[in-house]
Amino acid sequence: MRAWFQRFMSGRYGGDQFGNFLSLAALALVLLSIFVPGLFGTLLGALGWAALIYSYVRIFSRNIPKRAAENRWFLAQRYAVQQRFAGARTRFAQRKVYRYFRCPRCRQQLRVPRGRGRISITCPKCGTSFIKKS
């Protein structure tokens, strides 16, 4: 049986991070549809089943370059979200020591020490100076 499955999967894409995400999202949507009544619950269930079917289509697909490109796109999106939350976590951890401002010209995030009174801040990216209370 195992050899048969190995022969069957030979030349197919298999599982990856995007497929895992789709499967978990499908499970969550189907479970959520049980508790949500009416048309919205039905739509959630249909969306969950569609995601599950698509994840299996990806697993059994023979178009490996396209599936790999989809996975790279997913990983890039996931990395962007992770970086955004990592920056927020860092800002939260340093909130008692530093204040954060955005440059009014280029929107660059700047970090200055707290408790220095009114200070002139110069953006290292564009050179704009502005005064803020730290």
Q: 5: pLDDT confidence band, cut at 50, 70 and 90?
A: confident
pLDDT band at 101 (very low <50, low <70, confident <90, very high): very high
Per-residue pLDDT at 16: 94
Mean pLDDT, rounded, for 1-25: 89
pLDDT band, very low/low/confident/very high, at 6 (cuts 50, 70, 90): confident
Tens-place pLDDT, residues 44-74: 999 999 999 999 999 999 999 999 999 999 9
- SS3 at position 132: strand
Q: Looking at residue 45, what is its pLDDT? A: 94
Handedness of CA 87, 88, 93, 98 (dihedral sign): positive
CA 33 centroid distance within chain: 23
For the chain, domain boundaries: 13-93, 98-133
pLDDT of residue 1: 81
Distance, first Cα to last Cα, the chain: 69
